[in-house]
Structure 1
């Protein structure tokens, strides 16, 4: 949907919410920006009617309760309005466990780079009388993390702005400069990707955020392009990323009767009296470390050193986030 049409629809909703009486199409055309036309010109007036009909259908598809009626018994032309009682969202009652889930989601997005949006959403729920305590479930630690380029690439995709960045590919000696019209950012198999139109290749491409070197540079004006219709970001990433090659091998000690999810994808398991020695294959150190941290003290890494150090680093970060100083 173009920005012009979006603004026209928003103005139409505001206009119809601001009145209790039914407004005719002529009154709407004289009030809402974007409907200006010459009613005496048959072609111009017909174009307005087609546009207005499309906009009405769009609002109804979006769930806007558009009412049709007449202002009085003497009127013959139908009018339109939106009743506030039908348009406003109802109260949102949350059970304690549901409120806890919202708190966890808010903390998750604090880690994932959407702190402002998460805080705004929690503030609105509290203003509506919903008791949401993000500290009520500190024992549950969200593990979704994002790269530093997540925020600028997400903003560029939202604003439809072209970006440039340096990108590192494992089989190449150094990073190369890429220019992209980003369509969106998506998580696939524990990794974040940006999908868009590569201006240098003149084709759709996806890029792993962890391979972006340095910062993201905005090079275009807002609204410079439109993504394809019926866009499926996951399908693009699945097609371009290919199968995961698990070339890494790590050995961990797992307590008896614990970490059933981890055991399901073990390559080898050697039983012991108190702990089992489990061998796992992995493709990415960060990903396997994030998975292992979730099992807490039930899992201990034996080798390799890089996986053990990555797990220790994540445990230190978690402890630091919950280390509240005590003031005398």
Structure 2
């Protein structure tokens, strides 16, 4: 069995403390909490327990969770109890518009092969329990799926969330291997590949790195929260610099309301009818094909011929892989 990480232990301890204080009908004494919660009962000494409890209590309050302190017995004002008023932490009823529900279903399906697929499924279950109807068939057919097969994904994701510098060995496009030291700012899926953008400490400049080119383990190097992500940082700006030069113009037909990734790069747009529009975008071999295929029946490649051939080949491959025909 794999050991539980310190961050996971802390998260579980905080959640157990929240549940204990929210479910209590009366204020709970600190000693009672120590006896009922395993993490506190395992404290090596009274002093260790006191420090742990005070840190947890302060952290919950910083999160905006109100913990009230009440004297349990008026005859002994030094014995206090703690409680979380459920009415102060309850959220109002949640409702979604049809397009928002569709986005939630698509997001959950997109993450179905990723490391947080369990959290995505749990989120949908909670929405259904609250009365929100989720129709997962809306994303049937060819659809984007976010995959996290890169071994470095988990470590980089944790470092981005913790604002903690990392170091790693990186294989460049020419095959050379170098050690990089960065402050990771964002983790982004760009045209089917995962990238981390951040500040390269050796080159003193913003850089982007493809996770599939990481070699070996990602090492944390520095204190968590030791830097801040610049306001207005847009990962796509750094990633666009890594794209190949366009090989002419691609013409693509898009259903209205679809293909925003393509539309944002359009050099010209022509309305065809009430359902379709035709856009012209820079053609980047391999990348444009993936963008069109990801839209399924909501996009049609018109030209150049190599784009049409690439899209047809990808769709036939997807159909064959899923037990369909090759038409």
Normalised by the size of structure 1, how large is the TM-score? 0.61
**Conserved in 2, the CA contact under 8 Å of 1:251 and 1:280?**
yes
**Conserved in 1, the CA contact under 8 Å of 2:207 and 2:238?**
yes
Partner of 2:216: 217
List alignment gaps of at least 5 residues for structure 2. 1-5, 271-276
1:281 matches 2:282: yes
1:315 matches 2:315: yes
Which segment is superposed worse, 73-82 or 176-185?
A: 176-185
1:132 matches 2:131: no
**Conserved in 2, the CA contact under 8 Å of 1:22 and 1:69?**
yes
- Supply the distance in 1 between the matched residues of 2:203 and 2:103 (Cα, whole angstroms): 43
**Conserved in 2, the CA contact under 8 Å of 1:157 and 1:181?**
no
**Conserved in 2, the CA contact under 8 Å of 1:206 and 1:237?**
no
2:26 to 13, 21, 24: 21
Partner of 1:63: 64
Relative to structure 1, the CA distance from residue 83 to residue 98 in structure 2 (aligned partners, 3 Å threshold; closer, same or farther) is: same
Q: Deviations over 1:8-34 (max 9, x none)?
A: 645543553464332355766787366
SS at match of 2:152: helix
1:291 matches 2:291: yes
Partner of 1:153: 152
**Conserved in 2, the CA contact under 8 Å of 1:66 and 1:80?**
yes
Partner of 2:120: 118
**Conserved in 2, the CA contact under 8 Å of 1:17 and 1:83?**
yes
Q: Which has the larger radius of gyration?
A: 1
**Conserved in 1, the CA contact under 8 Å of 2:251 and 2:304?**
no
SS at match of 2:194: strand
- Supply the distance in 1 between the matched residues of 2:197 and 2:186 (Cα, whole angstroms): 6
- Supply the distance in 2 between the matched residues of 1:125 and 1:278 (Cα, whole angstroms): 37
Partner of 1:273: none
Relative to structure 1, the CA distance from residue 192 to residue 300 in structure 2 (aligned partners, 3 Å threshold; closer, same or farther) is: same
Relative to structure 1, the CA distance from residue 313 to residue 186 in structure 2 (aligned partners, 3 Å threshold; closer, same or farther) is: farther
- Supply the distance in 1 between the matched residues of 2:309 and 2:13 (Cα, whole angstroms): 55
Question: Aligned-pair distance for 1:286?
Answer: 3.7
Q: Deviations over 1:236-257 (max 9, x none)?
A: 8578657466621244445699
Relative to structure 1, the CA distance from residue 83 to residue 133 in structure 2 (aligned partners, 3 Å threshold; closer, same or farther) is: same
Question: Aligned-pair distance for 1:168?
Answer: 2.5
Question: Aligned-pair distance for 1:114?
Answer: 4.5
List alignment gaps of at least 5 residues for structure 1. 39-43, 271-275
Partner of 1:174: 175
- Supply the distance in 1 between the matched residues of 2:300 and 2:69 (Cα, whole angstroms): 64
Normalised by the size of structure 2, how large is the TM-score? 0.62
SS at match of 2:136: coil
**Conserved in 2, the CA contact under 8 Å of 1:106 and 1:118?**
yes
Question: Aligned-pair distance for 1:69?
Answer: 2.3
Partner of 2:274: none
Question: Aligned-pair distance for 1:288?
Answer: 2.0
**Conserved in 2, the CA contact under 8 Å of 1:157 and 1:184?**
no
Q: Deviations over 1:78-121 (max 9, x none)?
A: 43112456556676555655443322222222366654433333
Question: Aligned-pair distance for 1:285?
Answer: 3.1
Question: Aligned-pair distance for 1:193?
Answer: 1.4
**Conserved in 2, the CA contact under 8 Å of 1:253 and 1:300?**
yes
SS at match of 2:112: helix
**Conserved in 1, the CA contact under 8 Å of 2:249 and 2:280?**
yes
